[in-house]
A and B are shown apart, each in its own frame.
Chain A
Amino acid sequence: MSTLAYDGTAMLGRQLRRLRNNPGLLILTQTMPVSMLLFFGYVFGSALAMPGEEYRAFLVPGLLVATASGGIMAGMFQAAQDTHRGVMDRFRTLPMSRAAVPLGQAGADLVVTAAGTVPFLLVGLAVGWRVEGGAGEALGAFALLLLFRFTMTWIGIFLGLATRNEEAAGQLGGATFLLPLLSNAYIPTEGLPGWLRTVAEWNPISAVTAALRDLFGNAPVPEDAAWPVAHPIAGSLAWCAVLLAVFVPAAVRRYARGER
């Protein structure tokens, strides 16, 4: 385990150094949620029944979670790119922990995500979003958000290692933009037709979004929703636990196996 911690830290350093050497992409990805907040909040928001300010406060947690679900795309692209470049081959021939490479990648992603929420939330505050609940609950919300991002990144790493193709990863990654559309991230699910509402509420993004809205005090928990949304904190933790239990071992095995 200490081997994993040591090698994982080295790999975390590698990823952060790469980002520092090449910050352009990072800045670009961080501007995305901010522009979405402005477009959705002011353009689409004007057509919704909910008053503008109330909708924007509703939207901020939704966009935080939707952006976090982009960890699938980020993890996938990065993992596919690494395989493609052959640097993974060197890591595989080194006497290092098999889990260190994906762990370092997921860890670095977490650091970047945490830093990226700051400018987003500043814009959020400017457009009317507030932390209505306690500080402890707000911290809990951030912890949950990071746990969710970590989970999404592992899914992405697995998919990236499985496809081993940067272009395919780019294409498939683009499809992850659709995931938050079928959830409560941008709209309340109450208005959806019955079966569609059920599907949307079983989307893990919905549980985490509901949990963040609850913890930040932005919106009450919808009582009549499907179980993960009606019990959003337990629902979010359960989703993350299940997904991590599946995808962490799968990604590590995939990584260790190479192309055997």
Chain B
Amino acid sequence: MTSTYAVLSEGLEKRFGAVHALRGLDLAVARGTVCGVLGPNGAGKTTAIRLLTTLLRPDAGSARIAGYDLVGEAAAVRTRIGVTGQYASVDGDLSGRQNLRLFARLHRVRGPAERAGELLDRFGLTEAADRAVSTYSGGMRRRLDLAASLIRRPEVLFLDEPTTGLDPASRNLIWGAVRDLTAEGTTVLLTTQYLEEADQLADDIALVDRGRVAHTGSPAELKGLIGAHVEVVVAHPDVMVRAAGVLDQFTGGQPSFDHDRNAVGAVTRDTTLTLPRLVRELDAAGVPLLDASLRPPTLDDVFLRLTEDLGQKETAA
């Protein structure tokens, strides 16, 4: 079965009692790419992963994973996916090696012992291989969890906040593994709260808010949506409001004030804005300018701005 998309969902809905966790999730992840699902806590990211990995059944909507129907062909989907949850889903009473051998056996891998050894080696767990997993650090458990998801190379790998709470070394190891996998053709769908992680790894980003995909695009496209981050530092606190008035022309309002530094900041959607023009306008308005900067937006800016906009629309409606 061939399909351009490794993950294609349409209108997925899920309710838990009164909570409408997903309200029509549409996702399209092209084969061999990394899709970063970003969103605030409670946006529905984990529910989305649990639905797409057959752990939950959708109330409405449909999805195809690696070309197979999520509900009707769940068994076929399971042979093609790997899942690493937010909480390491390995057996704490078994050793790392026993865990991987067990999962290898359940995956019908030939030579489960060899495969387990290979993966332990790759994730730097050989030394701890024969200790009970309950004695592992958080980073080690997460690495073992990821190793368990890769027993048989999955067509689609789902990672639910794979590096939350990890030290930088473990994080880099996991990022490296994700890059290697995509180089080998695996599609990765990962949720994260770390925008840097999405920026580093994702080809495309789906911004999820209140159970829906609010925006999709490459990190560059999303950043392009909001222009740049402007900040000016003025000589006296009294002129901060005047400076903000000038900035409003370019940004359409919502300035932020840093009174300790006499700084005024704002995000602009005006992609034609240049630093000389900004300085000229401020000078013409008689603002005693000490410093001015115009830097490309980070995903943090995008995230804050876009979820803010959504919040306003929701309130207005």
Contacts and interface: CB of A to CB of B under 8 A. Distances in A.
A-side interface mostly: helix
Contact of B98 (A17, A88, A92, A260): A17
Given A18-B94, A92-B54, A86 B78 contact: no
B23 interface: no
Given A14-B94, A260-B56, A260-B57, A89 B89 contact: yes
Interface residues of B, number: 28
B19 interface: no
A93 B93 contact: no
Interface stretch (B102-110, B117-125, B169-177, B282-290): B102-110
A32 to B, nearest CB: 21
B75 interface: yes
A49 interface: no
A159 to B, nearest CB: 21
A259 B54 contact: no
A87 B56 contact: no
Contact of A85 (B81, B92, B98): B92
Nearest to A257: B57
Interface in A1-20: 7, 10, 13-14, 17-18
A258 interface: yes
Contacts of A90: 83, 85, 89-90, 103, 148
A87 B91 contact: yes
A95 B105 contact: no
Given A87-B89, A89-B85, A90-B89, A96 B56 contact: no
A21 B133 CA distance: 11
Contacts of A118: none
Interface of A: 7, 10, 13-14, 17-18, 21-22, 85-96, 258-260
When A and B form their complex, which 8 residue pairs have the shortest distance between CB atoms, in order from nearest? A90-B89, A18-B93, A95-B79, A95-B78, A86-B89, A260-B57, A93-B83, A10-B105
